[in-house]
Amino acid sequence: MLIRTPKSSQIKEHQVTDEHIYQNRRQILKSMGFLGASALMASPHARAVNWFGEDEATTFKTTALTFSQPQIYHSDEILTPEQKIISHNNFYEFGSSKSDPVANSQSFKVEPWSLRIDGLVEKPVTLGYDDLYKHFDLEERIYRLRCVEAWSMVVPWIGFSLADLIKKANPLSKAKYVVFETLYDPDQMPGQRNRFSGGGIDYPYIEGLRLDEAMHPLTLMSVGLYGKTLPPQNGAPIRLVVPWKYGFKSIKSVVRIRLTDKMPATTWNQLAANEYGFYANVNPKVDHPRWTQASERRITSGGLFTRNRIDTQMFNGYPEVASMYTDMDLRKYY
């Protein structure tokens, strides 16, 4: 499943993986009948550029991932270029500005890894690094990710349904919520060393979902993007992606998933409850106290000053989730 590729620092000429090259490569593989079998894809190297067009060193070694077809969740929107997805990040464990995660995470160790699923389950499960890629049907899913700060990206994720993982542990009927926890390792994560470098967060970073949200087929455990394993800045080796909720729900570098009967306290809700609710569903009609949520800046191939403001859609354009919230006042439960 995993194919080793050389470090990007070993690549002499720049190989820019933009969305067109990626899509073309997919089209060619598809027409040759390659995707769906285990395709041996050479993995072009990603280049991270900051907003000033300067290169950021990406020395972390990613590996090509194969995934099965068909692509159930698709989008015809223009993909955000890989170089932007891997260089404009929120990952406070590696610093609180957008360019900190790529700069501070390249030596992050993902192997060995341990992800534990426990709490109100019949049989707790522990997955090691290789298990993350072996025991699930990996799919590519193109999802929008909408940050609460009103920017958004369109990302070709690779992963599997969280439901497939939770089912392995046999949840007990008492279980109503799911709590997620990011690795706590101040030696590797400078943001966890003091309050100032880590945005005032009390680590580990915690997120939560209601069990029905966690079991929804859209809810993805992602292990890769743009055909390769995740780089650290995007949450290697495994992170959550909940496309109808603000980005902060999509917790990175997860080490524990615990089923519980109580709504958990979550990182951003504890930090500022009036700004960040437990539900955090993307909702253009409920503004953040300090800015509008009616529109967003879509990050595409343009530069910092490109005008690409678009209207934000209810549930980020995933109306199939609405039935989970029919009896709820979404102003109160924001």
Helix (H/G/I), strand (E/B), else coil: 240: strand
- Total of chain residues touching ligand MTE, rule CB under 6 A: 17
- Nearest residue to ligand MTE, by Cβ distance, number only: 247
Distance CA 79, CA 88 (A): 15
242 binds ligand MTE (CB under 6 A): no
156 binds Mo ion (CB under 5 A): no
Closest approach of ligand MTE to the CB of residue 237, in Å: 13
247 binds Mo ion (CB under 5 A): yes
- Taking residue 264's Cβ as centre, other Cβ atoms within 10 Å add up to 17
Distance CA 4, CA 234 (A): 19
Terminal-residue alpha carbon distance, the chain: 40
182 binds ligand MTE (CB under 6 A): yes
Distance CA 96, CA 200 (A): 10
Q: Which of 250, 266, 269, 293 binds ligand MTE (CB under 6 A)?
A: 250
Closest approach of ligand MTE to the CB of residue 190, in Å: 13
156, 101 Cβ separation under 8 angstroms:
no
91 binds ligand MTE (CB under 6 A): yes
Decide which of Mo ion, ligand MTE, none touches 182; Cβ closer than 5 to 8 Å per partner kind: ligand MTE
Closest approach of Mo ion to the CB of residue 78, in Å: 21
- Taking residue 224's Cβ as centre, other Cβ atoms within 10 Å add up to 27
248 binds Mo ion (CB under 5 A): yes
Closest approach of ligand MTE to the CB of residue 241, in Å: 8
Q: Which of 147, 169, 220, 238 binds ligand MTE (CB under 6 A)?
A: 147
243 binds ligand MTE (CB under 6 A): no
248 binds ligand MTE (CB under 6 A): yes
SS3 content of the chain, % helix, strand, coil (to 5): 20, 25, 55
CA 261 to chain centre: 25
Alpha-carbon Rg for the chain, nearest whole angstrom, is 19
Window 51-90: contact mask with ligand MTE (x via CB under 6 A): --------------------------------------xx
82, 157 Cβ separation under 8 angstroms:
no
User: What are 23-30's contacts with CB under 8 Å, separation 24+?
Assistant: 23/79, 25/227, 30/69
Window 113-152: contact mask with Mo ion (x via CB under 5 A): ----------------------------------xx----
Identity (one letter) of the amino acid at 214?
Answer: A
Residue 170, Ramachandran bin (φ over 0: left; ψ between -120 and 50: alpha; else beta): left
115 binds ligand MTE (CB under 6 A): no
Binding site for ligand MTE (CB under 6 A): 89-93, 145, 147, 182, 205, 234-235, 247-248, 250-253
